[in-house]
Amino acid sequence: MNVSGYDGIERRSGKDRRRQNLPWHQQLFPRGNRVSLRREEDRKRPVCLDRYSTLLFVVIMSIVCLSLLDALLTLILVAEHGAQEMNPILAVYLNIGTRTFLFVKYMLTVFSIFILLLYKDAITQRFRTGRFSFVMVALVFGSVIIWEAYLLLLNT
């Protein structure tokens, strides 16, 4: 007789199924039920959930749209008003061409959002502002766009 009082055959494999995230192809379709992390230990490492909130989706799409609007306003300021791109990485791609600049700006934004989404819970555990990190990014982009709009109005 076991200590637990169970005399049956041990059928557990010994592997912790929580150790692995979903394969990438299963993450594309929201079939699962993982909406949040319940265990404290899971919050300290990057975890992809099955579903995210609608509000988070709206904020992320707002960030992408604001980033593209920032890129377009930057192109207008550079082409028509002689402004310069202050980001040295994007300045290199702006010198290569407009399409390259837009593509790199978009990809850097999306990649950054993905990393932030992946580490969202770990950031929340470490810093109190982790929960609002996406909103803060949207506010920063909004501030940049307000500044660019001000520069456009100033030069017209």
Of the ranges 20-24, 82-86, 113-117, 123-127, the best mean pLDDT one? 82-86
Residue type, 49: L
pLDDT exceeds cutoff 90 at 43? no
User: Structure pTM?
Assistant: 0.68
CB 124 within 8 A of CB 135: no
The pLDDT mean for the chain works out to 80
Rounded distance, CA 142 to CA 72, Å? 14
Distance of CA 51 to the CA centre of its chain: 14
Q: Tokens for 18, please give them.
A: 């929580």
Helix (H) or strand (E) holding 40: none
Q: What is the pLDDT averaged over residues 28-43? A: 60
Residue 150 has a pLDDT of 96
pLDDT tens-digit series, residues 89-128: 999 999 999 999 999 999 999 999 988 887 776 666 666 6
